Amino acid sequence: MRLTQKKIEEIMLSILGEEGLPLVKELSGKQNVSEFELADKLKKDIKIVRKMLYLLYNHNLVSFIRKKDKIKGWYIYYWTLQPESIKFSYIKRKKELLGKLQQRLEEESKELFFTCPNRCVRLNFDQAMDFEFHCPECGELLSQENNAERVETLRKKVGETEAELEELMEKRKARKTVSKASKKEVKARKREKQRKVPAAKKQATTKAKKLVKKKL
């Protein structure tokens, strides 16, 4: 999955709110950014910046290293966004969304809904029965709603989310197999080398022996 700026922002927004976005922008694509530099660039108090960074840290979305300032004697923290965690977090969020959508789709497909002609309420069958099919707000007779369009919209959203998730998961799998494959390759090459080395040594020694014989 290519982690677009939009996707990063979507996740960060849910954690930090709008005011966190400039911070995320300052961090993206960089490594080990000093928190003082961040406070400076964002024109915010260091305490506020730290609070936001710790919040991200609690969600495993940033990592830090600290270095002692030799002159002032205190520690300075340097921060880096963690793209893999952001990806993981994005996938998790999509899965949750899919679960909710599927549940709603099931409800909408199974149940009957009743609405007030004045649009005050929308009730399922049991609720409507409790009010004897009259609007609890204005007293009008409720009528059964045709929710086919709603069901269709939900079905479409479920399909889209499933497709996106599938794509994300497949790319993840592909990346994992690639890294596994390359690890295997490295091991195989090492084995090959180990096999080759003694063979080459042998050759060298026999050659040397031959040379020695020739000389003799």
Binding site for Zn ion (CB under 5 A): 116, 118, 120, 135, 137-138, 140
Closest C-alpha among 98, 95, 106 to residue 159:
98
Provide CB contacts within 8 A for 116, sequence distance 6+.
122, 135, 137, 138, 140, 142
Q: From the centroid of its chain, how far is CA 4?
A: 11
Nearer to Zn ion, 97 or 121 (CB): 121
- In the bound complex, what is the minimum distance in angstroms from residue 123's beta carbon to Zn ion? 11
Kindly state the tokens that stand for 208: 């040397």
The CA–CA distances, whole Å, from 209 to 89, 196, 199, 203 equal 65, 20, 15, 10
- In the bound complex, what is the minimum distance in angstroms from residue 137's beta carbon to Zn ion? 4
- In the bound complex, what is the minimum distance in angstroms from residue 163's beta carbon to Zn ion? 39
Nearer to Zn ion, 134 or 157 (CB): 134
Nearer to Zn ion, 120 or 151 (CB): 120
- In the bound complex, what is the minimum distance in angstroms from residue 172's beta carbon to Zn ion? 49
Nearer to Zn ion, 143 or 203 (CB): 143
User: In whole angstroms, what is the distance from residue 58 CA to residue 52 CA?
Assistant: 10
Residue 63 exposure: Cα atoms within 13 Å on the Cβ side: 9
Nearer to Zn ion, 21 or 120 (CB): 120
Residue 15 exposure: Cα atoms within 13 Å on the Cβ side: 24
Contact between 142 and 116 under an 8 Å Cβ cutoff? The reply is yes
- In the bound complex, what is the minimum distance in angstroms from residue 135's beta carbon to Zn ion? 3
